[in-house]
Amino acid sequence: MARKAMALTALLALAAGCQQDGNVDPMVAGLARTIRMPESAGDLRLKRARGEGRTLILETEMPGDLGNVVGASDVATSFAHGICANRATMNFFSEGRTLRLDLSMPGRPPSSATVDRCPPGPVGQGVTVETYAQMYQRMVGRDLGDGTRLTSSRAEGQTLVLVLDGPAGWRQGVTPASIGQDFLGGFCEGGTGNAFFQGGRTLRVDTTEGGGAPMAGQPLSACPGR
């Protein structure tokens, strides 16, 4: 079930094929080299990561229909939260360093966004819980590979609520807590969940069987091991 969360893990967890130009700031070059994302992570793909002076440049692409929900500034802001939340890179934006995110989408003009400081407030100032809910809404009705499907995605305050439906008996022998923890493995893949949960945000995975017998999930507030 962990793979179910991977379609959007790429929103904050980007992978590298770093190409460095001359005179690249060491911290910029080091961060570009170490950024990773699983090949199977869904909607956002990194084409190239490189450094120019004190600027980390991420060239990305994603499906054009996602542009109705999220843009370059949202992705750049969310990634900046991830950088600032990591003890190893929390000082990245000091000394004039910047992050530039270039985004291309089929059927849409290319766009870019630049961040030069840690965003204020909790993670999601650019990408809110409502935005996450809208992005998961694109997966509603999709077969998740083991007889289950996502039937609902919504925001309840600071909580992202996802509803999974499956055939009669699919929850036999499992608890709401174990379903949520299983889903959490994919959600946290590549660091996305670590960024999402900052600022008191939570995730809840509710379930149904054949469209009925609703069961509330357990609120989750952190990735495993944190």
Residue pLDDT, tens place only, 184-208: 877 776 455 666 787 788 999 999 9
Output DSSP code: residue 33: H
Output DSSP code: residue 165: E
Asked whether residue 221 is assigned to any structural domain, the reply reads no
Q: Residue 189 in contact with residue 146, Cβ under 8 Å?
A: no
**Phi then psi for 145, rounded to 5 degrees?**
100, -15
161 in the same domain as 131: yes
Answer yes or no: is pLDDT of 35 > 80: no
Whole-number pLDDT of residue 213: 93
Output DSSP code: residue 172: T
Enumerate the β-bridge partners of residue 161.
154, 204
135 in the same domain as 180: yes
Radius of gyration of the chain (CA): 18
Whole-number pLDDT of residue 29: 94
164 falls in which pLDDT band (50, 70, 90)? very high
Q: What is the pTM of this model?
A: 0.53
Whole-number pLDDT of residue 45: 81
Average pLDDT estimate for 116-137: 68
54 in the same domain as 103: yes
Whole-number pLDDT of residue 2: 47
Average pLDDT estimate for 174-185: 86
Range of 108's domain?
4-115
* Boundary-marking domain end, from 84, 115, 146: 115
Number of domains the chain is built from: 2
35 in the same domain as 8: yes
Which CATH number covers residue 166? 3.30.300.250
Asked whether residue 226 is assigned to any structural domain, the reply reads no
Measure the N-to-C terminal CA separation of the chain; round to a whole number of Å: 21
154 falls in which pLDDT band (50, 70, 90)? very high
